Chain A
Amino acid sequence: MRIALFVTCLTDTMFPDTGKAVVTVLERLGHQVEFPAGQACCGQMHFNTGYRDDALPMARGFVRSFAGYEAIVTPSASCASMIREYYPALAQEAGDQALAAAVSEIAPRVHELSTLLVDVLGQPDVGAYFPHRVTYHPTCHGLRMLKIGDAPYRLLRAVRGLTLAELPEAEACCGFGGTFAVKNAEVSAAICADKVAAIRQTRAEFVVATDNSCLMHIGGALSRQRSGVATKHLAEILASAE
C-alpha cells in the first residue's frame, strides 16, 4: 500500500529516530512510504491552549498536504485524535465549508501507527526482535479519544525476545497535558511522580508508548532521577530486528 507519513512536528524536530522507524517497519512489510513535504504541525497545541485562530491555518495546511492519499500514518495517537476528533469542529466553527469537506474526506484515513498495522493492514507481527524487559503506557488520547484498544499490546506481544511487564494503574494519565505541564507544573510533576513510580515497579528497562509528547514528559522525569529506565516510541521497538 502507498502510505503517507505524517511525522508530526515534535517527532520531526526532536525525535527523528521514531520517524525513521515508521519508515523501516512499513517498508519491511512491503509498503511504500511517502513524506509529503508540505506538512508541518497539526495545530493541537494551539487549539488545546485556546488559540483556535492560529490552529486553523495549520488544519488547512494539513488537508492540503495529505489530500488524495489512501492511508496516512502518524506515530502520535494524540495528533491523530486532534485531526479525527477536533478538525471537524474547527472547520465548522470557522464556517470554512471547503475545509469541512476536505476534513470529512481525509480524517478517517488518518491512522495512528499501531491501529494501521493491526486494524487496517492486519499485520500484528512485523518481524521485530527486541530482547529487553519493556512496559507499555497507554497514552490518554490513544486510550480514551482514539480508542486504539489492544493494538499496541498485540504488536508488542509479537516482538521476539521482548518481555512485556504489566504497568500498574496503566490507564492513569502521566500528567503531561501539553501546556498544562508548564502552566500547572507542580501538579503535572506530582502526577508524573506516580507514573514514574509505577514504571520503576515493573523493573522494565524501557517504557513504551504511542506518543513522543508523553514520553518526553515521562522520560524527562526518569532522566532527572537517573533511573536508568529509558523511553522508546513503539515504532522504534517494532523497527528493531536481529
Chain B
Amino acid sequence: MNPEELLYAKTHEWVRIEDQDGGKLAVVGLSAFALEALTDLVYIELPEVDRQVAAGESFGEIESVKAVSDLYAPVTGDIVDVNTELPDRIESLGDDPYDSGWIIKIRITDESGLGELMDHTAYQKQCEEEGD
C-alpha cells in the first residue's frame, strides 16, 4: 500500500478506508514514522474482535525496550478483525507497516470524525515538526 494514499491520525495510526457491504471499513496500522521512533518492539496487546471503539479511544498498546505506547482508534466503530499474527513477529512490524503490518479493521459506525484525519502531506508536516 502506498503511504501517500492513506489517512493519518495525530497519534500516528494510518487508516485505509474501504467500501464494504454498503458501509465503510477502516484498516488501521501504525505509521513508519512512529515505528521508527519506537524501535526495538517487544510486545503488542491487541483488542478482542467485536469490541466497540470511539475515535481517540485506546484499543491496545505497543511496547518497545524503552517504553510503552497506547494505540488509539482513529475512527468510531466495531472492531471486526484483528491481525493475530503480529504478536509472534512484532520485531518485524517496522519492515512492512502498510500491508502485512495492519493491526485492526474497524467497521465505521459514525463517519462524523473522519474529517479529523490528515492526508499524507499534512501528516508529514506533523512528523517534521515532531522531529525538530
A complexed with B: no
Residues of chain A having any CB pair with chain B under 8 Å:
none
Residues of chain B having any CB pair with chain A under 8 Å:
none
